[in-house]
C-alpha cells in the first residue's frame, strides 16, 4: 500500500483501546438503561408535579457537557475520599448521563401506548404490573428502540471523553500513536474504521428488530 511505521504491536495497542471503549460503553449503557427504565416509569407514574425534582436532576445531566461532568465527578469522588479507579468514575458518570437520556426515551415510549389499550387490559382483570409487563413493555419497546440504539451509539462515541480521566480507550490510544509515529491521517483513519466496525452491528441489530416487529403494528 504505502509506507508506514505502524507495527502489529501498535495495532494490538489500538485493539486494547477499542476493548476499553467497548467495556466502558457496555457497563454504562447497561446500568444507564436499567436506571433509565426505572426513572422513566417513575416519572410516568408520579406525574409531572411529583416527579419534578427527579426530572430536574435528570435535566442537569442532560444539559451539562459530559466532559465537565466527568471532571467534576472525578473531583467529587476524590474529595469524598471514595478512592474510585478512573474506570469506575467514568462508568458512574456515563451511566447517569445515559440514564438521563434513557428515562426520556422510556417516558415517550410508555406515553405512546394508547390509554384505551391499557384500559382494555385492566378491564380484563390484569393488575398494574401485568399491564406493564405484557402490554406496555412490548409496545413501548418497539417505539423506543430506534432512539435507544441512537443513544447507545452516541454514548460509545462520547465515551472517548473518559481519556481526560487517564483511561486509554480507542481515541487516546490513537493519539499516543499519532504523537509517536507522526502519521495522524492514517492512524485516525484506522481509528475511525474501528469505531465503525463496533458500531455497525448495533445499528444493524436495531434495523433487524424493527423489521421483525413492523408487520404487526
Q: Which residues bind another protein (CB under 8 A)?
A: 114, 116-117, 119-127, 130, 134-135, 138-139, 142, 213, 215-217
- Cβ proximity to another protein: between 60 and 120 the closer is 120
Q: Say how many C-beta atoms besides its own lie within 10 A of residue 112's C-beta.
A: 13
Strand, helix or coil for residue 35: helix
Q: Which is nearer to another protein, 47 or 215 (by Cβ)?
A: 215
* Backbone φ and ψ of 65, nearest 5°: -55, 140
Rounded CA separation 99/38 (Å):
9
Residue 100 CA neighbour count, 13 Å, CB half: 20
CB nearer another protein, residue 62 or residue 212: 212
- Least Å distance, CB 121 to another protein, is 7
Name the minimum Å distance from CB 124 to another protein: 4
Q: How far is the CB of 215 from another protein (least distance, A)?
A: 7
CB of 114 to another protein, least distance (A): 8
Read off the DSSP letter of residue 177.
Answer: H
Per the listing, cell 460503553 goes with 25
130 or 199, CB closer to another protein? 130
Contacts 24+ apart (CB under 8 A), 6-9: 6/177, 6/181, 6/183, 6/186, 6/187, 6/190
Q: Which is closer to another protein, CB of 123 or CB of 182? A: 123
In the complex, the smallest distance separating the C-beta of residue 38 from another protein, rounded to whole angstroms, is 23
Amino acid at each position: 500500500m504505502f509506507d508506514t511505521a505502524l507495527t502489529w504491536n501498535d495495532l494490538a495497542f489500538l485493539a486494547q483501546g477499542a476493548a476499553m471503549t467497548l467495556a466502558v460503553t457496555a457497563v454504562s449503557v447497561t446500568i444507564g438503561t436499567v436506571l433509565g427504565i426505572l426513572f422513566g416509569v417513575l416519572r410516568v407514574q408520579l406525574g409531572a408535579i411529583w416527579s419534578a425534582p427527579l426530572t430536574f436532576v435528570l435535566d442537569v445531566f442532560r444539559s451539562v457537557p459530559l466532559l465537565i461532568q466527568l471532571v467534576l465527578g472525578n473531583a467529587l469522588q476524590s474529595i469524598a475520599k471514595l478512592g474510585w479507579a478512573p474506570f469506575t468514575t467514568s462508568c458512574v458518570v456515563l451511566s447517569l448521563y445515559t440514564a438521563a437520556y434513557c428515562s426520556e426515551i422510556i417516558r415517550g415510549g410508555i406515553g405512546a401506548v394508547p390509554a384505551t389499550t391499557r384500559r382494555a387490559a385492566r378491564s380484563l382483570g390484569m393488575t398494574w404490573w401485568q399491564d406493564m409487563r405484557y402490554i406496555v413493555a412490548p409496545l413501548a419497546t418497539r417505539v423506543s428502540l430506534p432512539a435507544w440504539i441512537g443513544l447507545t451509539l452516541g454514548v460509545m462515541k462520547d465515551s472517548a471523553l473518559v481519556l481526560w480521566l487517564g483511561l486509554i480507550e480507542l481515541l487516546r490510544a490513537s493519539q499516543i500513536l499519532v504523537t509517536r509515529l507522526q502519521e495522524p491521517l492514517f492512524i485516525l483513519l484506522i481509528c475511525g474504521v474501528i469505531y465503525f466496525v463496533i458500531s455497525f452491528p448495533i445499528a444493524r441489530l436495531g434495523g433487524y428488530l424493527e423489521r421483525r416487529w413492523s408487520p404487526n403494528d
